[in-house]
Chain A
Amino acid sequence: NAGVTQTPKFQVLKTGQSMTLQCAQDMNHNSMYWYRQDPGMGLRLIYYSASEGTTDKGEVPNGYNVSRLNKREFSLRLESAAPSQTSVYFCASSEYAGGGYTFGSGTRLTVV
């Protein structure tokens, strides 16, 4: 059972570079989320998609964009990476907004 798959698992970027983090789920879930996790802090919501075709900002959306490509896939894009975006990024999905979340294994991003 794949669940939620994130790629890549690790990435190092230089300041100003761009990249897209990929996320796919195979559970036919309607809602998908992107979180970041910093040392000593809980997970903070960046963006979410309550259903296919919709996206909304979370707590910390600045510097990010998202695309809900289809029901399975939800990508997170950093247009111009900054050191403050060094973090571990988690994608999650749920059957409906507020349902139990299933998380991916994370992408560890370092911006130098």
Chain B
Amino acid sequence: GESVGLHLPTLSVQEGDNSIINCAYSNSASDYFIWYKQESGKGPQFIIDIRSNMDKRQGQRVTVLLNKTVKHLSLQIAATQPGDSAVYFCAEFTYGGATNKLIFGTGTLLAVQP
């Protein structure tokens, strides 16, 4: 079945370093991919998305890379800050008329050490 998974359940980085969070997906027909950040006790918050016809997209301090050949997605956070500490989810979306749905991965905990 369709699935979205993460390679590393926990990532610990030093403040100021760059962080890379990885995600593998299985549905090659997915239309776009989204990264969410979830802080403790809060709902997921949209970070950045990327369409399936793109391989890179940049936001403020974040970059998402998409490698469709190996079905791999990554989120790069530059100059990681303590406020970046959270669980990060990748999600894939497939248009299907009545069956449009967003499938989430299990999440990676990013811990930023001061």
Contact = CB atoms under 8 A, between A and B. Distances in A.
Interface of A: 4, 33, 35, 40-45, 48, 50, 56, 58-59, 90, 92, 97-98, 100-106
Interface of B: 4, 31-32, 34, 41-46, 49, 89, 91, 93, 95, 98-107
Contacts of B101: 45, 48, 58-59
A90 B106 contact: no
Given A42-B106, A56-B98, A104-B43, A98 B93 contact: yes
- Of B34, B41, B43, B93, chain A has the most CB atoms within 10 Å of the CB of B43
Contacts of B31: 98
Nearest to B2: A59
Contacts of A90: 43-44
Q: Which 3 A-B pairs have the closest CB atoms?
A: A103-B43, A42-B104, A97-B100
Contacts of A106: 41-43
B42 A105 contact: yes
A3 to B, nearest CB: 9
- Of B49, B98, B102, B104, chain A has the most CB atoms within 10 Å of the CB of B102
Contacts of B104: 35, 42-44
A81 B49 CA distance: 36
A60 to B, nearest CB: 12
Contacts of A33: 102
Nearest to A33: B102
Nearest to B99: A56
Nearest to B93: A98
23 contacts: A33-B102, A40-B106, A42-B91, A42-B103, A42-B104, A43-B104, A44-B104, A45-B101, A45-B102, A59-B101, A90-B43, A90-B44, A92-B43, A97-B95, A97-B100, A98-B31, A98-B32, A98-B100, A102-B46, A103-B44, A103-B45, A104-B43, A105-B43
